[in-house]
């Protein structure tokens, strides 16, 4: 693993500013496990929003479930009524769109939200499904054999790492 020349903390500051216009008093933050969950928790605090953000797992609805299983899966926790909710979904990296598809399926298992929007730290392109973020702090190109992952330090600070596949 090597360090990527992306400043995750600077991108987080951009995310804070970028999502403000997307929020109403009733908007619920929901982070995709795990990087998106970290973003949602920190945004909830930094924006002074009441309540607890939701966390959502894509594990049970992934099209590669047989390959990946539940090994590293976090649990879905939605501490609010999903029916009629205005939801801002948060993720660290948007790539193929498959995780977002799986998360939307999971979300609709809990009810029918009025609106769901998506904000991400990084959009790396490479979409396989018609999914677009309402806000992306950065758009970068990452080689196909690599993945970009958000890491959270002990003090809660964010950084990125590149993982080389196979």
| pLDDT at res. 4 | 47
Q: Which of 47, 57, 99 is nearest to 77 (CA)?
A: 57
Q: Average pLDDT for residues 73-86, to the nearest whole number?
A: 92
The β-bridge partners of 117 are 88
Q: What is the pLDDT of residue 16?
A: 98
- How sure is the predictor about 1, in pLDDT bands with cuts at 50, 70 and 90? very low
Model confidence band, residue 131 (pLDDT cutoffs 50, 70, 90):
very high
Average pLDDT, the chain: 91
Domains of the chain plus CATH, in order, are: 21-142 (3.40.50.2020)
> What distance lies between CA 43 and its chain's CA centroid?
12
pLDDT value for 89: 98
| Average pLDDT of span 100-127 | 96
Q: Above 60 in pLDDT, residue 126? A: yes
What pLDDT is attached to residue 74?
78
Rounded Cα gap, residues 59 and 45, in angstroms: 27
Mean pLDDT over residues 26-38, rounded?
Answer: 96
Per-residue pLDDT, 164: 86
Quick check: 68 pLDDT over 80?
no
In the predicted model, what is the mean pLDDT of residues 100-123?
97
Q: What is the pLDDT of residues 138-152, one digit of tens each?
A: 999 988 888 898 999
Contact indicator for 35, 158 with CB cutoff of 8 Å: no
Q: Which two tokens stand for residue 154?
A: 């002990």
Rounded to an integer, the average pLDDT of 27-41 is 96
């Amino acid at each position: 693993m090597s360090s990527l020349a992306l400043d995750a903390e600077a991108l987080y500051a951009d995310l804070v500013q970028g999502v403000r216009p997307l929020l109403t008093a009733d908007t619920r933050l929901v982070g995709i496990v795990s990087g998106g969950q970290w973003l949602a928790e920190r945004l909830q605090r930094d924006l002074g929003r009441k309540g607890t953000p939701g966390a959502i797992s894509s594990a049970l609805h992934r099209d590669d479930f047989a390959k990946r299983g539940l090994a590293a899966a976090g649990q879905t926790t939605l501490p609010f009524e999903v029916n009629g909710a205005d939801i801002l979904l948060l993720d660290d990296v948007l790539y193929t769109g498959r995780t977002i598809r799986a998360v939307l399926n999971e979300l609709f298992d809990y009810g029918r939200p009025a609106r769901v929007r998506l904000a991400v730290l990084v959009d790396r392109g490479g979409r396989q499904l018609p999914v677009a973020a309402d806000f992306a702090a950065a758009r970068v190109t990452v080689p196909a054999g690599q993945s970009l992952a958000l890491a959270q330090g002990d003090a809660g600070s964010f950084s990125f790492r590149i993982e080389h596949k196979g």
